[in-house]
Structure 1
Amino acid sequence: MQTRVLKYFLTVAELNNITQAAERLHITQPTLSRQIMELEKELGVKLFDREKRQMHLNKAGVLFQQRAMTMITVLDQTKNELLAVNDQLSGTINIGMVESAVSDFMMRAVQKFQEKYPDVRFNIFDGDGDTLRERLDQGLCDLVALIQPIEAAKYNYFPLPVQEKWGLIMRKDDPLAKRKAIMAHDLYQLPLVVGRRNIVRDDITDTLKIDLNKLDWRVIINLPENAKQLVLSGKYYHFGIYGVYQKYHDERLAFVPFSPTKTTGHLLAWRKNVQLTPAVEKFIQFVADQTTHKKI
């Protein structure tokens, strides 16, 4: 199976139209149709449901699309790794990070690193902790910046000097916004928006001694941006971190911390027993040194 054919397939899957895909790929429509049919024959399954001029992925096609994207990504990473094995540091570093104050810290690190090593490029992926760990396990990310705690047994990691305070995000005109702190009993029966990572949620609720049976987890999210409109409606409260409130950057909202105060740290993690590229190794050491000397 050739890489070229995988890219042909992914283009057709994106456009759902063989003619448009052929135009983008600068090949003839009959050639592209033949390549897709030969791919299906090689795999032994149909990948598309065909309707006149439209082609839509079936269940097998959706699964193969995910695998094909992974294969292309890994192949591109391998090429970059081979290019990086020389005297001039180069290549691409794939970093995943949660949407919190750690992103500002990491972006400063990226900027300073590229000033020193201009031939190194970065791919940045935003996601929640579960998504980022999946990408790390699949080899799609070299490094991930996560909120503690994490299931650390299978990762190498070190702490980053970024702390987040937990609290409640709500409309500024809400009566609770006038409080200096939110207590556990204030949360009971409120319609809450909360992140999907159970390990983090459990850590917070244990610290605050919250009775989980009295909480109304109304909406569970992976990334916070879509939840902003729910909070602005005045009918939901976001159980989250100050960094999310800052990123909302909306004067109509307010953040009130929990009492007792709960703060959470961050980690930079990478897989154990994996050969890292020189660029990734150098960046890990760079961030570790900057962290130790607090230069970022």
Structure 2
Amino acid sequence: METRILKYFLVVAKTNNITKAAEQLHITQPTLSRQIIDLEKELNIKLFNRENHRLQLTKAGILFQQRATTMLQLLQQANDELHQQVAELTGTISLGSAVSNASPYMAKLITKFQQQYPNVTFNLFDGDGDILRRQLDEGINDLVCLLEPVEAAKYNFLELPVREEWGLLMTKKAPLANRKQVTKEDLYKLPLILPRRSIIRDEVSDILKLDQTKLDVRATTSLPGNAVALLRNSNYYVLTIRGVYNNFHDPSLTFIPFNPNKSTGDVLAWRKNTVLSSAMEKFLQFVNEEIQEKTKLR
């Protein structure tokens, strides 16, 4: 069935008159009448009641009018989207990230990408690893920045050229503020604010050979904003990554790394077995090229 015939039918259905419809379509009346009759034969159903030189849609005709309108609209939408892909990239990408060194890195990439593709917009989300993974699994986010390791069987990912160093965040008035490093013996003596995620606490404990039962834990937190607010009003110490300190730009705070040193990589992850939009494909290609370029300069 040709789209031309659908258009003919819709004009006839709107005017309820073959003569008027033929004039609007710039074809002859016999030609249009034959096309409508052929359409009814093809569908094997009566679309119009013909009385006193007027046409009225049957119940089947009303249903077909609705479907024909929808089909033509979908075809037009598909045609517009295909031409947009060729001429101009559009779309929205939902990106989640924890507060880390990956945050300013991705912000620079987004800015640079939108200079080339200004009609691609981004929805940005904050969260810890558990929240970001759940949002990714549920399709709320298209992409998320996560600390390594990630589940290779579940996600595709690009390794970002940024690292996260673990240590303690504290005020500059704290007794340890002038130290160059912090050891596990120091941790046993301090009132601590720890990450909510047990996997993070366990990973850091393995590196430092910590006995978590000896730690003086005053609070746990999922996002660093609350931890920093508590830190500013207390003598607590926050176990976190340097990226948190770098993002807050607070001159009253300082960051002291652990000894032995503990660092973690960042990745940009997305779900496996999912269809990527044109905007997302182009952005991932762009990010990968930027990563390769930065790697060459090292």
User: 1:189 Cα deviation (Å)?
Assistant: 4.1
| RMSD (CA atoms) | 2.0
For 1:201 and 1:150, locate their aligned partners in 2 and report how far apart those are by CA, in whole Å. Answer: 16
Aligned to 1:292: 292
Aligned to 2:201: 201
Aligned to 2:110: 110
Contact kept, 8 Å, 2:174 with 2:235, in 1: the verdict is no
Runs of at least 5 residues in structure 1 that lack an aligned partner in the other structure? 1-78
Q: Deviations over 1:35-71 (max 9, x none)?
A: xxxxxxxxxxxxxxxxxxxxxxxxxxxxxxxxxxxxx
Q: Secondary structure of 1:86's partner?
A: helix
TM-score (norm 1): 0.69
AA in 1 matched with 2:253: L
User: 1:247 Cα deviation (Å)?
Assistant: 2.2
For 2:229 and 2:120, locate their aligned partners in 1 and report how far apart those are by CA, in whole Å. Answer: 38
Aligned to 2:156: 156
Q: Deviations over 1:9-58 (max 9, x none)?
A: xxxxxxxxxxxxxxxxxxxxxxxxxxxxxxxxxxxxxxxxxxxxxxxxxx
AA in 1 matched with 2:129: G
Contact kept, 8 Å, 1:182 with 1:257, in 2: the verdict is yes
Contact kept, 8 Å, 2:191 with 2:216, in 1: the verdict is yes
Q: Secondary structure of 1:201's partner?
A: helix
Runs of at least 5 residues in structure 2 that lack an aligned partner in the other structure? 1-76
For 1:189 and 1:152, locate their aligned partners in 2 and report how far apart those are by CA, in whole Å. Answer: 38
TM-score (norm 2): 0.68
AA in 2 matched with 1:207: I
AA in 2 matched with 1:218: R
Aligned to 1:92: 92
User: 1:197 Cα deviation (Å)?
Assistant: 2.2
User: 1:83 Cα deviation (Å)?
Assistant: 4.8
| Larger Rg computed on CA atoms | 2
Q: Deviations over 1:134-188 (max 9, x none)?
A: 1100001000011122333211112100111111111211111121110011101
User: 1:284 Cα deviation (Å)?
Assistant: 0.8
For 2:233 and 2:129, locate their aligned partners in 1 and report how far apart those are by CA, in whole Å. Answer: 27
Contact kept, 8 Å, 1:166 with 1:257, in 2: the verdict is yes
For 1:107 and 1:249, locate their aligned partners in 2 and report how far apart those are by CA, in whole Å. Answer: 16
Q: Which runs of 4+ in 1 moved over 6 A?
A: none
Aligned to 2:142: 142
Aligned to 1:185: 185
For 1:196 and 1:137, locate their aligned partners in 2 and report how far apart those are by CA, in whole Å. Answer: 20
For 2:112 and 2:81, locate their aligned partners in 1 and report how far apart those are by CA, in whole Å. Answer: 22
AA in 2 matched with 1:86: Q
For 1:269 and 1:197, locate their aligned partners in 2 and report how far apart those are by CA, in whole Å. Answer: 19
For 1:270 and 1:230, locate their aligned partners in 2 and report how far apart those are by CA, in whole Å. Answer: 34
For 1:177 and 1:242, locate their aligned partners in 2 and report how far apart those are by CA, in whole Å. Answer: 14
Q: Secondary structure of 2:150's partner?
A: coil
Contact kept, 8 Å, 1:99 with 1:244, in 2: the verdict is yes
User: 1:86 Cα deviation (Å)?
Assistant: 3.1
Contact kept, 8 Å, 2:135 with 2:141, in 1: the verdict is yes
Aligned to 1:171: 171
Give the length in aligned residue pairs.
216
Q: Secondary structure of 1:161's partner?
A: strand
For 2:190 and 2:170, locate their aligned partners in 1 and report how far apart those are by CA, in whole Å. Answer: 11
Percent identity among equivalent residues? 50
AA in 2 matched with 1:180: K
AA in 1 matched with 2:85: N
Distance 1:212 1:83, change over 3 A: farther
